[in-house]
Amino acid sequence: QSNNSWVVLFMKANKVPDFTLSYIFVFTELLLKVRSINLMKSKSGENRTEHHTNRYHGDDFVIRRGQNFQLWITLSRPFNPNTDKLHLELKTGPLPTVSKETHVIIPLVEALEGNRWEAAVVAQDDKRLNLSVNSSPSAVIGRYQLTVETNCANGPASFTADPANDIYMLFNPWCEGDTVFMDSEDVRQEYVLNDVGRIYYGTENQIGARTWNYGQFDNGILAACLYILEKSGTLPSGWGDSVNVVRIISAMVNSPDDQGVLEGNWSGDYSGGTSPTAWSGSVEILKAYHKNKGSPVKYGQCWVFAGVVTTVLRCLGIPCRPVTNFNSAHDTDVSLTTDVYLDENLEPIDHLNADSIWNFHVWNDCWMARPDLPPGNGGWQAVDATPQETSQGSYRCGPASLAAVRNGQVYLKYDCPFVFAEVNSDKIYWQKNANGTFTQIYSEKKTVGHYISTKAVGSDERNDITDLYKYPEGTEEERIAVETACRYGSKASAFSSSKAEDVSVEVTMDGQGPTMGNDAELTITLRNSSSEKRTVTLNSQAVVMYYTGVPKATVRKHTVEVDVATFFNVMFFAMFLDTETALDWSLEVRETQQVQATQFSFRLRTPDLIIKPIGKAVVGEKTAIEISFTNPLPQVLKAVTFNMEGLGLLTARKIKYGRASVSLTEYFIPTLPGPRKLLASLDCKQLTQVHGVTDITVEEKSNAAL
């Protein structure tokens, strides 16, 4: 109406004849224009509830592809389906193109068919239209600008895009037509919607667990995840392909070649950043990366990379879980074996030993169909963001089909050889000859890939998923898989079958193992399965090392010659001040020239942080908790920092503290009701992997007052 008034004033001022004025007035009134759009974005409304996006923070319109949604359009006059035309347009990326599916034209149809972009009028109230819209299950994910185009006998009109009407499109595990579809609601709740989880670490004999806040629905996290995709420099036209998106995220969560989210650091010196063991969740990391316009956050190690990948993929709608592999091999030369080179005296040749076995390594499984691979390779896929080896020129790994890895089909993409070696490579020992060549002296076929673990669905229990990655050790199927894989390795001719050995070694420790600050007591048992006595020279050394299997320092060496009739026990003592440790040993049998060498890894247990809520927790009211901790070391801890966070409880907070034993009280104001977890960790140079968690049930303010 106001526009028409201005036209009238203008025409009168310029002495335009009345019949012309009347024509213009009628023309503008009959033009079909969009006055407003209501996307019904309320968290409690049908759209976001049905799309399982009602937990995303804020009022953005977040929906999942391949699923229907509703909207209302208010027009300048009632819509006449006989003479008026209307369609929706969505645009994403810097150069929206119809052929690339980044410019989507959504036609108005009489009846919806599904599995395609389409819209239909389901109700009309005077000038208001209620549209029901379907999206394609293969739609590009990301942020779309929405416009509405109209046309009638008097000409076209366009409703300019308004950022308030932008649509955020995600993958949809609830849609059968989506490649990430999962058919169980329990697993969708766990691998898409659960925003708190467990990540395992330690050694195969001492498995530890820590709680991790994924926080995929937290304020600003969806924007940060989409920023990561944009920062990758990849074309949005490829963001509808779940395989491609996972590959992008795998590369972008590390930073060596693309200024990605996290900078890895295994040096032990974390000055200028945060120690990897101090993080308790992904939210602070992702927000810092986004806020600082793509400057990598310092620092991460494997579990931090995996925690962030879990957050990003769940946020984008791809089912994901962190996975821990104990005794995880790092194959550097695509031999599909873990090679150890020894000199004439059975001492390691350090400059040749590039392969290593990590006490544990954490990566991710994500769930999707694999239309790019032969049938049977869909389902769980391994993806690893820790920068170890390059894949097609970038530090990334996967997605590698677990079915392919299990069967040794390492020729299938992506990066199956590397993942296979991590979980099922043979460890082969080579001894240097006088002429400079090497001879294979021993192989271990059951050393790599133990207790592959992830959090169980619906509980905090550990779920062993080793059988998804490999057949049971020593079975015919497992050996066939190894032989199949090694035929494609760089040392195919070196692979040989086992030979008989009559002296074996077992290393054991009591209970859950030694604690930080106390002696480590290990028992080395030699067993002779022959009917004759064996004279054995046993060399052993205690080594402090990084969890990646890289030695840091030798603590103690010991050599003994023993006669073994049936069995013989050797006790080994050492004092350690580092959590990650190992006992390396080698033996030589005088009578048979049998040679054997291997490693036993263990972890010195650190004390937990004890977190106790004081009183009840109520939304919007000050709540207290007490944190207590006792220093197990003989020296005073210096530059101690406590890190606290909890989804719906408090944002990440750092507390500086300087005493050896501590009992402190902290306060926070909960923002969300229901069951919550408060996480805390301790960070200092002398101690790592010190953390704690407590469950807090937050009451609604109104309920608490009753």
Q: Residue positions in the annotated binding site for Ca(2+)? A: 424, 426, 473, 478
60 is catalytic: no
Name 494's Cβ contacts closer than 8 Å, sequence gap at least 6. Answer: 335, 337, 428, 440
Name 588's Cβ contacts closer than 8 Å, sequence gap at least 6. Answer: 346, 536, 537, 594, 595
Q: Are 443 and 428 in contact (CB under 8 A)?
A: yes
Angle between helices 302-316 and 283-291 in degrees, nearest 10: 80
Q: Are 282 and 290 in contact (CB under 8 A)?
A: no
Nearest to 295 by CA among 327, 272, 279: 272
Name 383's Cβ contacts closer than 8 Å, sequence gap at least 6. Answer: 246, 247, 249, 250, 309, 363, 364, 365, 366, 397, 398, 399, 400
d(CA 390, CA 117): 38
Q: Which residues pair with 395 in a beta bridge?
A: 390
366 is catalytic: no
Q: Name the active-site residue from 302, 397, 416, 684.
A: 302
d(CA 141, CA 239): 6
3-state DSSP call for residue 621?
A: coil
Binding-site residues sit at 424, 426, 473, 478
Run of H or E including 313? helix 302-316
3-state DSSP call for residue 419?
A: helix
d(CA 157, CA 366): 45
d(CA 445, CA 39): 59
Q: Cis before residue 201, ω within 30 degrees of 0?
A: no
Helix/strand/coil percentages in the chain, nearest 5:
20, 40, 40
Give the sheet arrangement for strand 519-528, strand by strand.
Answer: 503-509, 519-528, 567-575
C-alpha separations of 589 from 340, 504, 648 in Å = 20, 11, 62
Q: Name the active-site residue from 361, 365, 366, 486.
A: 361
Number of residues assigned to the chain: 706
Place of tokens 């408090």: 650
DSSP class per residue in 558-620: EEEEEEESSEEEEEEEEE-SSSEEEEEEEEEETTT--EEEEEEEEE-B-PPPEEEEES-EETT
* Exposed / middle / buried, residue 593 (Cβ in 10 Å: 0-12, 13-18, 19+): exposed
Name the token pair of 689.
């992997």
361 is catalytic: yes
Nearest to 329 by CA among 353, 347, 351, 307: 353
d(CA 407, CA 394): 26
Nearest to 247 by CA among 465, 415, 420, 418: 415
Q: Name the active-site residue from 178, 355, 384, 584.
A: 384
Q: Which residues are catalytic?
A: 302, 361, 384
